[in-house]
Amino acid sequence: MSQYNCLDCNLKSAAAEYLNEQEFSVLHENIVNVSFVKGETIIRQDTLSLNVAYLRTGMVKIHMRGPTHSQILQLEKAPTYLGLPTSFGDNINHFSVTAISDCTVCFIDLSVFRNLIFNNGRFSYQLIVELGRNGLFHFQRYASMSQKQIPGLVAETLLCFSKKLFENTSFTLPLTRGEIGDMIGTSRECVSRVLTQMCSDKIISVEKNVLTILKPEVLEQICEKG
DNA sequence: GCATTAACCACAG
DNA sequence: CTGTGGTTAATGC
């Protein structure tokens, strides 16, 4: 069991804001908080899913084995639920979740979580909102992936990192070039080339692993034109 | 044809 | 892991 009380958790999910005191105490009795260091697997593809995972702190990559390469589906930062599609879609995990920074995760018993959904409409509604946004994000990604050229995809990825993940025009690259390649379905070489090209065009700068977006407008333009 | 895009391979740091 | 260069295949004008 976790040492802290869920009711007093200052990192509650948007959905959990709607739980009452009694529901929190049930949650608290059926939750376990686990720390992961960077690189550790939090959820493993093809294993049985027995609980819902809630990412309290840290950042993760969600990925799966494709026909030939590994495919990175998305990056997520705390606070967020992890693997809801798996929890409700199938008993078997259809993807893996790996920590890309140190993380803390709460694992919640699935049947307890299911009861919360049955009994609390507002809580459920917030989950649906999250699931819906996630689905929309992937629809958009799907269209981009099949229609944009590599520079457009790289631009899209960098803008996503900047706007959604770090909320900053300057950030430490959370993935290697190879992983970015796995994310947009190309090779590490292509990512490398596009990045160095953007550097020489002064659209971005990369020092060590810190990337700074110098010309957001140009990047947006590349992103849109594909 | 010629140019562009990107994959694949190999080698160096 | 990263950056580059050479080569090749596919596609478009």
The pLDDT score that the predictor gives to residue A74 is 96
**CA A72/CA A61 separation, integer angstroms:** 7
* pLDDT exceeds cutoff 70 at A1: no
Strand order in the sheet with A103-109: A31-36, A103-109, A51-57, A80-82
Quick: pLDDT tens for A148-176.
999 999 999 999 999 999 999 999 999 99
**CA A85/CA A106 separation, integer angstroms:** 17
Q: Is the CB of A226 under 7 A from strand B?
A: no
Q: Is the CB of A190 under 7 A from strand B?
A: yes
CB A93 within 8 A of CB A47: yes
Closest protein residue to C3 using CA and C1' atoms? A192
Token pair, residue A216, equals: 């957001």
Q: Is the CB of A189 under 7 A from strand C?
A: yes
- Could you give the 3-state DSSP secondary structure of residue A55? strand
**CA A189/CA A191 separation, integer angstroms:** 5
Q: What is the mean pLDDT of residues A96-122?
A: 93
When pLDDT is cut at 50, 70 and 90, the band that residue A46 belongs to is very high
The pLDDT score that the predictor gives to residue A18 is 85
The pLDDT score that the predictor gives to residue A2 is 45
Q: What is the mean pLDDT of residues A204-212?
A: 92
